[in-house]
Structure 1
Amino acid sequence: MPDWRSRLAVSYVDEDGNSVDVTPIDAFSPSFSLNAEALHSIEQTHIGVVYTPQAITFSMTVRAIGDAAAKLTSLAMQGKRFDITLQETDDGADWSFDSIVLSDCIITSANPSPAAISGAPAATFSGMSLASTIDPKTGENQVIP
């Protein structure tokens, strides 16, 4: 049974090639859309398949503590591409993947929360990735596209 002392770390590579950790982070949710649709005709159904382009999107929520929200806002406003790396830390063996890398990411929207009397405000950043590399614990690495 895993002891769950490990965690997933989220970081990005800035324009100078330096790895920058995004911390503290409340949530990170990548989404891979690998669509296929059955092709039909008047004479027959399911005569083939039409593949639509793959889409990789993400959403991450960070608290306005430290400079993570400011760094991500700056990347969004400048329209700069960056990489996001999710990787297991603390020598854990609990997660299904060794790493997931989203390459050439662009932030498409930023949604800061209102300031409240208690607790730090948060900002949710949504975006897309043009490529991805997935390194599972078992099996072969996968690259999109």
Structure 2
Amino acid sequence: MSDQNSAPLHALIVEDNRDLARLFSDLLEVLGCKADIEWNAVAGLEKAASLRPDIIFCDISMPGEKNGFDVAREIRAMPDLERTWLIAVTGYDNAETCDQAIAAGFDRVFAKPVKFAQMQAVLDDVRGKRRGAGQQPG
């Protein structure tokens, strides 16, 4: 088990804003993660199914046929991804959006811009396998 805990976490970022996604990836790598990026929900779902990452950071509001809520619902329906943490990332920091995100299957909701301390705390929780802590304040 110690080998698993010392292995870098694998994160997937699903975000249509390329600059934000790259910044997010860089921060995750500084925090000891291997990070992949997908630019839309459909590609994110495909990548999640093939990679089975430890954690997925997903924008809620993306253009295209699916949004972040769809991603969460579909990830939660995949048996191979039942242990994957889902973090909603949103520019809409209000109670209704947070409630919808948690109901869709996200473990936490982070308002943009995501703070370094939030990322570090959730990665510590993933490493410690603590789930179900609900939403984090923005």
Please state which band the TM-score falls in when normalised by the shorter chain: under 0.3
TM-score, normalising length from structure 2? 0.23
Between Structure 1 and Structure 2, the one with more helix by share is 2
TM-score, normalising length from structure 1? 0.22
Between Structure 1 and Structure 2, the one with more strand by share is 1
Greater length-normalized contact order (CA 8 Å, ≥ 6 residues apart): 1
State which structure, 1 or 2, has the greater radius of gyration over its C-alpha atoms.
1
